Amino acid sequence: MSTDKIQKIAWKYALQNAIKFNGKANPKAVVGKVIANLQKDGFSPKEIIPVVNSVIKEVNKISIKDQIEKLEKIDPELLKKEKKVRDFTLPNLPDAVIGKVITRFPPEPNGYLHIGHAKAAIVDHEYAKMYDGKFILRFDDTNPENAHLEFYDAQKEDLKWLGIEWDLVYNTSDNLEKHYKYAEQLIKQDNAYICQCSPEEIKHGRYHGKECTCCGTECADNIDLWKQMLSKSLDGAIVRLRGDMTCDNTAMRDPTLFRIIDSPHPIHGDKYRVWPTYDFAGPIEDSIGGVTHPFRTKEYELRDECYFKILDLLNLRKPHLMEFARLSIEGMPVSKRKIKPLIDKGLVSGYDDIRLPTLRGLKKRGILPKAIKQFVLEQGISKVESTINFGLLEATNRKMIDSIAKRYFFVKDPIKLIVENAPKLTKKINLHPNNKELGTKIVKTRDEFFVQKSDLDKINEGEIFRLKELYNVKILKKNKEIIAQYEGENLIPNSAKIQWTNDEYIKMKVLIPHPLFVDDKFNENSLEQVNGFAEKAILQLKTDEIIQLERFGFIRIENIENKITGFFSHR
């Protein structure tokens, strides 16, 4: 009877803890809660601990989805609390078995990762976690012209920043011999042939649904030609699948499986010259790599038929291939074709420019990785294409940083304010109105201040306003400088509260990003610069800290040593 009670409470808190920490409950935390809950009933830790440990083993065996369902039944209120931390779950995968799901993220190492990659990586990674499966990072590097050594590492770094860890990482190019073996099998089975037509002829043939003469080459001759391709005695040839040149799905009109690319590969140098296309490498790697649930974006949907045909012909295991819509953000292109010219012309500073949706750009702008994750999961994996306003991601981010961002004063377009009879004060001011853990700042004031000109425009001579967190002043004279007088510390209802700096201000530059493209044209005003004075306490911050400049916005500190630069995040 008594263990029943411990069991019940242990299940509740083990589930809650597991849901909070991605499906794995932490024994220490759970034991603490259960003991606190049961001590009044006279249970001793000796009785409680072994029960909790065995319950945790059970809980950690099941998927997050099941954990959520169980807690929903046991204690829906507790689940609601936890869902605030994690109020999203992906839909179930078809034919998924706990512990057996394998997903993969297959980037081409040809550039920095952007928000679109983040969506794929996050969805793949989440599913692997949800089913207690495995997540593979696979570099699809079978085009030596595109692959660059620096990007293998850069992409890994970007993923780590997102909080994504992989169980296995490898390069498709390392499996090339296997791809050759399967190619040979297809040629021997007469399912593929060598085509030596020009790219124009091939394009023309595909467009008009007409076979080329190479299609009639005998099987034995194709094997011979294939060997010549590999041994460098044949140039300008490709391997094509025997599809259907009249098929409505043009992706099936004898798609290219291999082509010759003589550029050196960043890893294999000039060891290989015949490289598989995406159409061939994708299904082969997914199948032999054990991937159970590969995802790709919807624009590949027409190529699914080819994916499965290749696996059919080779008698290889077929994964559950699934598609979702690409993530596009208004005014923020992700394609290199659009970004690279801007970098070349110096219109953006690089791939980490704060106007770009690269992960490096988002990081610099002050977007937290967990905000990206929540945003992506909230969008879900629907196939409906939509262009999303960046404001949505900013709103998610703002919710996360609001309670942890220290508050400071920033005065743009500063004008000098002299306060007659001002008391000399040393004030301790909280860095956050509610979060006391963020500490305080010490501010010393004399009679000289700086305030924002536009704030003072609204206040007339003879009127009283409050220097925020300090005291009231009455304006005596408005000129190039403002002359005012001290009016006591008591709060006056409805009087304006104004941000200020004392005479020990620091100069600060804030860069504000706007959409890079408007109506598909480069926006000349996409980067705004605001200069102003900030309070000296900011000098104690470090690069990367995200703070709030009151009544201005959240910014990320970019550089504190040289002049202070901040990147505006959002209001």
Residues that bind Zn ion (CB under 5 A): 195, 197, 212, 214
Closer Cβ to Zn ion, 48 or 187, answer by number: 187
Q: How far is the CB of 229 from Zn ion (least distance, A)?
A: 14
Burial class (CB in 10 A: 0-12, 13-18, 19+), 115: buried
3-state secondary structure of 197: coil
Q: How far is the CB of 236 from Zn ion (least distance, A)?
A: 11
Closer Cβ to Zn ion, 56 or 237, answer by number: 237
* Amino acid, single-letter form, for residue 244: D
Q: How far is the CB of 257 from Zn ion (least distance, A)?
A: 14
Residue entry with tokens 């002050």: 366
Closer Cβ to Zn ion, 214 or 456, answer by number: 214
Q: Tokens in use for 336? A: 């290199």
Q: How far is the CB of 198 from Zn ion (least distance, A)?
A: 9
Burial class (CB in 10 A: 0-12, 13-18, 19+), 556: buried
- The C-alpha atoms of residue 568 and residue 322 are separated, in whole angstroms, by 38
Closer Cβ to Zn ion, 212 or 534, answer by number: 212
Closer Cβ to Zn ion, 38 or 202, answer by number: 202
Q: How far is the CB of 251 from Zn ion (least distance, A)?
A: 18
Closer Cβ to Zn ion, 212 or 498, answer by number: 212
Closer Cβ to Zn ion, 256 or 523, answer by number: 256
* Amino acid, single-letter form, for residue 203: K
On whether the CB atoms of residues 312 and 242 are closer than 8 A, the answer is no
Which helix H or strand E contains 306, and what residues bound it? helix 304-313
Q: How far is the CB of 237 from Zn ion (least distance, A)?
A: 9
Q: How far is the CB of 219 from Zn ion (least distance, A)?
A: 16
Strand order of the sheet with strand 168-171? 102-105, 134-139, 168-171
Helix ranges, 333-485 (H):
336-344, 359-365, 369-379, 390-401, 453-457
* Amino acid, single-letter form, for residue 207: Y
Closer Cβ to Zn ion, 211 or 545, answer by number: 211
Q: How far is the CB of 186 from Zn ion (least distance, A)?
A: 17
* Distances from the Cα of 296 to the Cα of 30, 253, 301, 307, 502, angstroms: 39, 21, 8, 12, 56
- The C-alpha atoms of residue 408 and residue 537 are separated, in whole angstroms, by 8
- The C-alpha atoms of residue 550 and residue 539 are separated, in whole angstroms, by 17
Q: What is the pairing mode between strands 497-498 and 464-467?
A: parallel
Q: How far is the CB of 199 from Zn ion (least distance, A)?
A: 11
Closer Cβ to Zn ion, 238 or 417, answer by number: 238
Which helix H or strand E contains 452, and what residues bound it? strand 448-452
